[in-house]
A and B are shown apart, each in its own frame.
Chain A
């Protein structure tokens, strides 16, 4: 507490809390909450409980653009703002591609397959790029792709929160149409929703959250897929105002717990964030799929 109110840089404990612990906690809260909300948006937009920013390849868009930016050697792109813009742009590009495909594809399973293909395409592309990277660049890119909450520094926190707040403003406009969209496009249109505008805004907000979090923390898998499903199961509602708050809270707590677990294990084994979320998230998804088949 003292580290926040009367910060004294000379004190080592206070330094650790302020410079390391607090940014890491905030990163966990923003990443967990933001990805869960992004997942919920994708699930309502595509009317598919298995949709999420990771499976639909929106994360991969960010990864690809960040890889291009870091390896291109352009000085603008190596700066912090450059990485964020690349990640946001990549997420928006790939989100729009998926949205475009969704106009032609009726089956929700096909859409997920296209998302996976897009993801596969960009990861192969990244591997090709990596062969041209220097050892230094390769290491930083590999570490980044494992996902981590520790890269965030105190000065960067402000930028993260500002962009996150912009996403939240967009999100607040989406609450009302989201509630109508669960009835399907035609019924939503009949209730006065401008479906085209809604889709564009929905994909933009998802891209902001996903791109921002991917830029700072790397591509984090499964959180955006598993948490919205758990939230719906717990809250048993289709009211998106409630779902947004609940997703944020559960997503944040989930990632804080995962991160605490990683920190506890640190003396013995260094666990990449992405590995832990996948180990927990993948079985949850399998359970959901099995339940739906029944």
Chain B
């Protein structure tokens, strides 16, 4: 789905390199690394907000820089951890914005759009929040609404920047399991950054670890112990 080769990630100065890495559809990847190691910059690079220092990214065998903006919005959905809600914007209308790349020039929703919006809301179990303003719901509920919006965008790739940051322990587990289920059932490639190493190991996720000393990003092999991982990453 996404392929990186000889990629150097950074903003002005290099943060880390990726020699050769492929992310596949149907899998949930956890991006783990110490503070300031470049997790957010990496996500921003895949998102197209920050340019890499050098190297290549390709999505579905297409060179990233050659994909027009309009098409990118149908390939990658982004869930920001910084969404604080907007007054008068209901959860339903927020999720509807996910259909933006597909609607006509005045943004009118078709009957199919409405079906997709309702399905996305139902999948996240937030139907009862539908008519509430995004400003006045809890952090956890807002996170669910943001993921529903990303689902409504119907992209093969979803990126989430620290989605578990404001959630309690129970909700963290629930969120990670839900993301895994979505990746599996809808054959999406989902990548999220987080600090919950134990949780990711327990749930047997694919872990992308930023090596602190070598300044490189690698996919972890399954037989590493927690102690070894801590030595590499922190």
A residues contacting B by CB (< 8 A) are 172-173, 175-176, 179-180, 182-183, 186-187, 189-194, 232, 236-239, 241
Tell me if B73 is interfacial: C-beta within 8 Å of chain A: yes
- Indicate if the CB atoms of B103 and A176 lie closer than 8 Å: yes
Interface size, B (range)? 20 to 34
Q: Which of B77, B93, B105, B107 contacts A190 (CB 8 A)?
A: B77
Q: Which of A179, A190, A241 contacts B73 (CB 8 A)?
A: A190
Q: Which of A173, A176, A187, A238 contacts B88 (CB 8 A)?
A: A238
7 smallest beta-carbon distances between A and B, as pairs: A192-B73, A176-B107, A191-B100, A238-B89, A192-B101, A190-B78, A236-B88
Residues of A within 8 A of B74 (CB): 192
B residues 90-104 near A (Cβ < 8 Å) are: 93, 97-98, 100-101, 103
- Indicate if the CB atoms of A179 and B107 lie closer than 8 Å: yes
Residues of A within 8 A of B48 (CB): 189
Bitwise interface map of B from 141 to 155 toward A, beta carbon under 8 Å scored 1, else 0:
000000000000100
8 A–B contacts from the bound complex (CB under 8 Å): A176-B105, A179-B107, A186-B78, A187-B83, A191-B101, A192-B73, A193-B100, A239-B93
Sample of 13 more A-B contacts, CB < 8 Å, known A173-B105, A194-B69:
A176-B103, A176-B107, A179-B100, A180-B97, A183-B83, A186-B78, A189-B48, A190-B77, A190-B78, A192-B72, A192-B101, A232-B87, A238-B86
Residues of B within 8 A of A190 (CB): 47, 73, 76-78
CB distance from A132 to the nearest CB of B (A): 49
Q: A176-B105, A176-B107, A182-B86 known; A189 and B93 CB under 8 Å?
A: no
CA–CA, A190 to B70, complex, Å? 9
Nearest CB in chain A to that of B153: its residue = A191
Q: A176-B105, A176-B107, A186-B80 known; A192 and B70 CB under 8 Å?
A: yes
- Indicate if the CB atoms of B89 and A192 lie closer than 8 Å: no
Residues of B within 8 A of A241 (CB): 106-107
- Indicate if the CB atoms of B100 and A237 lie closer than 8 Å: no
Tell me if B228 is interfacial: C-beta within 8 Å of chain A: no
- Indicate if the CB atoms of B106 and A192 lie closer than 8 Å: no
Bitwise interface map of B from 55 to 70 toward A, beta carbon under 8 Å scored 1, else 0:
0000000000000011
- Indicate if the CB atoms of A183 and B86 lie closer than 8 Å: yes
- Indicate if the CB atoms of B106 and A175 lie closer than 8 Å: yes
